[in-house]
A and B are shown apart, each in its own frame.
Chain A
Amino acid sequence: MKAYIIRRLLYMVLTLFGASVLIFGLYALTPGDFVDNNPKLTDERKAELKQMYGLDKPVVERYFVWLGNAVRGDFGYSLQYQQPVTSLLSQYIWNSFLIASASTLFTWLIAIVIGVISATRQYSFFDSAVTIGAFAAMSFPSFFAGLLIIKFFAVDLGWFPPGGMITTGSNATGLAYVWEVIDHMFLPVLVLTMLGVGSLTRYFRTNMLEIIRQDFIRTARAKGLKEKTVVYKHALRNALLPAITLLGFELPALFGGAIITEKIFNWPGVGQLYMQAFSLRDYPLLMGFTMFLAILTVVSNLLADLLYGVADPRVRLK
């Protein structure tokens, strides 16, 4: 087990090294940079700035300078904000994490419950309705669903604020502040949940249907166990196993931000920050954030594999 973890950690370092080459290479090879982008600057001023930011050096040298700093946890300064990338990210990432974690929680809960019910009553009215509903929810583009929901709940009914994270000009503190954020979170979380729940429901339904046809379910029934025990103890536990791998992919998504949804609801998340950095070619910020996601992906994959071992006895002992 120890040797396995050490080997996996070594692979992780190699993977991340490859990822860093790709990430830096792609951004460095894109023509134009933060300085070229600004038409108000004179040529002399541009040359001066490029020297200051180190943009005049050869690509390979720039890569190793960047990598050397990155290894020490320093991803450089955002050109646009003139702040360290790490502190900038930590300001925005938690906002994204807030809505992403809430919607992930709801998505999984709803998907598991609906998936199990519709699998145990395959081809019933409920099952057909859910299958069609899941398809419909999946097919909505997020900008359309978002705007529609703003129109209904914020404009027509006036139940929830249409955007932002706090009410403009509000100085609420303590519990009042928490309530305000929850009030603002509601609509973006609703959109994200709606978009995610379809595919996950179908996933759980298929998994459950497959498990429920297995021999050991027949044994459980032949033992005279209650149908509830058969479904929730014997079937669901087995159906949840492959979902652990899926959970591994969710972790980067929790911090990755939802670009379109955040934009529509004007949520100060990292997705919006990322979009802005793109249009201004704020490369240090872009590279830092992409690298951060790469690290998260690799770590969560390792975590998922280890968790799988805990949950499935057949993997545990190998």
Chain B
Amino acid sequence: MTNALLTIDHLQTHFFTPSGVVKAVNDISLRVREGETVCIVGESGCGKSVTAMSVLGLVAEPQGKVVGGDIRFDGVDLLQLSPLEKQQLRGNDIAMIFQEPMSSLNPVLTIGEQIMEPLWEHLLLSKKEARAKAIELISLVGIPRPEEIMNAYPHQLSGGMLQRIMIAIAISCNPRLLIADEPTTALDVTIQAQILDLLREIKETYNTAILLITHDLGVVAEMADYVVVMYAGKVIEEGPVLELFSNPRHPYTRGLLQAKPVIGQRKKRLNSIPGQVPNLIGLADSCYFHDRCESCMSVCRLKQPELKQIDDGHRVACWLYEEESGLA
């Protein structure tokens, strides 16, 4: 087993709003090994993106702040870095692509300029070298006529092409970790598959570790080596992808998997989990999922379950499995 590239330990990122403190990321720990793809799954607003932004140090200050825990990348504590060191790390060792390719590129700069910027900044290439490298990157991500694309503006390209450009920018400095925040959510299905294929190719060619954030279990099944399920700012279950899909333990994970249509099975209605993610302000000391859970017990309303190992590499935070170890 290879070494951990990114280690997040007990990370807490809070947002201080007028109506109270939002604990968007509440004691999260996870690990990404070299060349591994880890997926974070969860509903909207459960803290997936904030976790990613915390890694890059891009949480909007002063409202948002990392208040606890640590993030280590290749042994270096990212939270202790100076702004300059962080800036040198971003786009160079850790790169990121986002959900909305249409609005993620600057509308008044050419595509070429935007690809060349990190090359100038991190690899210190000359204009000429950067240009050659940018053209190479554009063809690498599968866009024809790269010279023409260099001089195009974002509004002239489609969403799928823009996401390819975003990927080209992200891999331009050979990052060791690529964070992809819902990279296919805004795209239509055929384009989604192409973008995922491209990400997989990159992973295989460059041995890049990928931290993929998504709410789409189809994407998880296709991409992940290891899955982390988040709910209301906490990790509630994690495990290798096969184990988690074949043997989900947490009622929330089960609900998610049942909510997914299966080809060949025609159901009148898809299963859904009733209710919504709770308001993250002023949460009581209970299991955050208890009011939506079909197997809710009295202990669930009183105490929060901890993340416990139940099988090799499979961990879950639920009182249902605490009993076995003689608790409650």
A-contacting 9-mer, from B3-11, B85-93, B257-265, B283-291: B85-93
List of B residues within 8 angstroms of A223 by Cβ: 90-91, 95, 117-118, 121, 169
Residues from 293 to 318 in A contacting B, C-beta threshold 8 Å: 311-314, 317
Find out whether the CB atom of A241 lies under 8 angstroms from the CB atom of B108: yes
- Tell me, in angstroms, the Cα distance from A226 to B91 when the chains sit together: 11
Q: Does A80 contact B (CB under 8 A)?
A: no
B-contacting 9-mer, from A136-144, A182-190, A211-219: A211-219
Residue of A nearest to B108 (CB): A237
List of B residues within 8 angstroms of A226 by Cβ: 87, 121
Partner of B106, one of A224, A227, A234, A311: A234
Task: Fill in one digit per residue for B62-92: 1 if any A CB lies within 8 Å of its CB, else 0.
Answer: 1000000000000000000001000111111
Residue of A nearest to B83 (CB): A227
A225-B118, A225-B121, A226-B121 are known contacts. Are A220 and B96 too (CB-CB below 8 A)? no
Residues from 133 to 190 in B contacting A, C-beta threshold 8 Å: 153, 155-156, 166, 169
How far does the Cβ of B115 sit from chain A's closest Cβ, in whole Å?
10
Find out whether the CB atom of B106 lies under 8 angstroms from the CB atom of A222: no
Find out whether the CB atom of A218 lies under 8 angstroms from the CB atom of B58: yes
Residue of A nearest to B96 (CB): A222
Partner of B104, one of A215, A311, A312: A215
Find out whether the CB atom of B100 lies under 8 angstroms from the CB atom of A215: yes
A221-B90, A225-B118 are known contacts. Are A238 and B107 too (CB-CB below 8 A)? yes
Q: Does B109 contact A (CB under 8 A)?
A: yes
Interface residue range, chain A:
20 to 34
Task: Fill in one digit per residue for B39-76: 1 if any A CB lies within 8 Å of its CB, else 0.
Answer: 00000000000000000101000100000000000000
Find out whether the CB atom of A222 lies under 8 angstroms from the CB atom of B108: no
- Tell me, in angstroms, the Cα distance from A222 to B100 when the chains sit together: 14
- Tell me, in angstroms, the Cα distance from A219 to B83 when the chains sit together: 17
How far does the Cβ of A239 sit from chain B's closest Cβ, in whole Å?
11
List of B residues within 8 angstroms of A220 by Cβ: 106, 117
Residues from 96 to 117 in B contacting A, C-beta threshold 8 Å: 96, 98, 100, 103-109, 117
Residues from 198 to 233 in B contacting A, C-beta threshold 8 Å: none
Residue of B nearest to A217 (CB): B106
Q: Does B122 contact A (CB under 8 A)?
A: yes
How far does the Cβ of A244 sit from chain B's closest Cβ, in whole Å?
12
A215-B103, A216-B103, A216-B107 are known contacts. Are A313 and B58 too (CB-CB below 8 A)? no
How far does the Cβ of A217 sit from chain B's closest Cβ, in whole Å?
8
List of A residues within 8 angstroms of B91 by Cβ: 222-225
List of A residues within 8 angstroms of B92 by Cβ: 224
How far does the Cβ of B327 sit from chain A's closest Cβ, in whole Å?
43
- Tell me, in angstroms, the Cα distance from A317 to B153 when the chains sit together: 10
List of B residues within 8 angstroms of A311 by Cβ: 108
Find out whether the CB atom of B121 lies under 8 angstroms from the CB atom of A314: no
A215-B98, A313-B155, A314-B153 are known contacts. Are A222 and B107 too (CB-CB below 8 A)? no
Query: How many chain B residues touch A (Cβ–Cβ < 8 Å)?
Result: 30
- State the majority secondary structure of interface residues on A: helix
Find out whether the CB atom of B88 lies under 8 angstroms from the CB atom of A224: yes
Find out whether the CB atom of B100 lies under 8 angstroms from the CB atom of A219: no
Partner of B98, one of A219, A227, A229: A219
- Tell me, in angstroms, the Cα distance from A219 to B165 when the chains sit together: 12
List of A residues within 8 angstroms of B156 by Cβ: 317
How far does the Cβ of B212 sit from chain A's closest Cβ, in whole Å?
16
Of B56, B107, B121, B155, chain A has the most CB atoms within 10 Å of the CB of B107
How far does the Cβ of A82 sit from chain B's closest Cβ, in whole Å?
54
How far does the Cβ of A210 sit from chain B's closest Cβ, in whole Å?
13
A215-B100, A223-B90, A226-B87 are known contacts. Are A238 and B108 too (CB-CB below 8 A)? yes
Residues from 84 to 132 in A contacting B, C-beta threshold 8 Å: 123
Find out whether the CB atom of A224 lies under 8 angstroms from the CB atom of B155: no
Find out whether the CB atom of A313 lies under 8 angstroms from the CB atom of B104: no
Find out whether the CB atom of B95 lies under 8 angstroms from the CB atom of A222: yes
Find out whether the CB atom of A221 lies under 8 angstroms from the CB atom of B103: no
Find out whether the CB atom of B56 lies under 8 angstroms from the CB atom of A222: yes
- Tell me, in angstroms, the Cα distance from A216 to B107 when the chains sit together: 8
Task: Fill in one digit per residue for B118-139: 1 if any A CB lies within 8 Å of its CB, else 0.
Answer: 1001100000000000000000
- Tell me, in angstroms, the Cα distance from A317 to B58 when the chains sit together: 35
List of B residues within 8 angstroms of A233 by Cβ: 109
Find out whether the CB atom of B104 lies under 8 angstroms from the CB atom of A224: no
How far does the Cβ of A318 sit from chain B's closest Cβ, in whole Å?
10
- Tell me, in angstroms, the Cα distance from A223 to B95 when the chains sit together: 7
Partner of B105, one of A123, A219, A224, A225: A219
How far does the Cβ of B90 sit from chain A's closest Cβ, in whole Å?
4
Task: Fill in one digit per residue for B272-311: 1 if any A CB lies within 8 Å of its CB, else 0.
Answer: 0000000000000000000000000000000000000000
Task: Fill in one digit per residue for A40-61: 1 if any B CB lies within 8 Å of its CB, else 0.
Answer: 0000000000000000000000
Residues from 55 to 92 in A contacting B, C-beta threshold 8 Å: none
List of B residues within 8 angstroms of A241 by Cβ: 108
List of B residues within 8 angstroms of A219 by Cβ: 98, 104-106, 166, 169
- Tell me, in angstroms, the Cα distance from A314 to B103 when the chains sit together: 13
Of B96, B100, B108, B156, chain A has the most CB atoms within 10 Å of the CB of B108
A223-B169, A224-B89, A224-B90 are known contacts. Are A312 and B121 too (CB-CB below 8 A)? no
Find out whether the CB atom of A221 lies under 8 angstroms from the CB atom of B117: no
How far does the Cβ of B97 sit from chain A's closest Cβ, in whole Å?
8
Of B92, B100, B104, B106, chain A has the most CB atoms within 10 Å of the CB of B106
Task: Enumerate 6 A-B pairs (CB-CB under 8 Å) in ascending A order.
Answer: A216-B104, A219-B106, A219-B166, A222-B58, A225-B118, A312-B108
What 6 pairs between A and B have smallest CB-CB spacing?
A: A224-B91, A224-B90, A223-B91, A215-B103, A313-B153, A216-B106
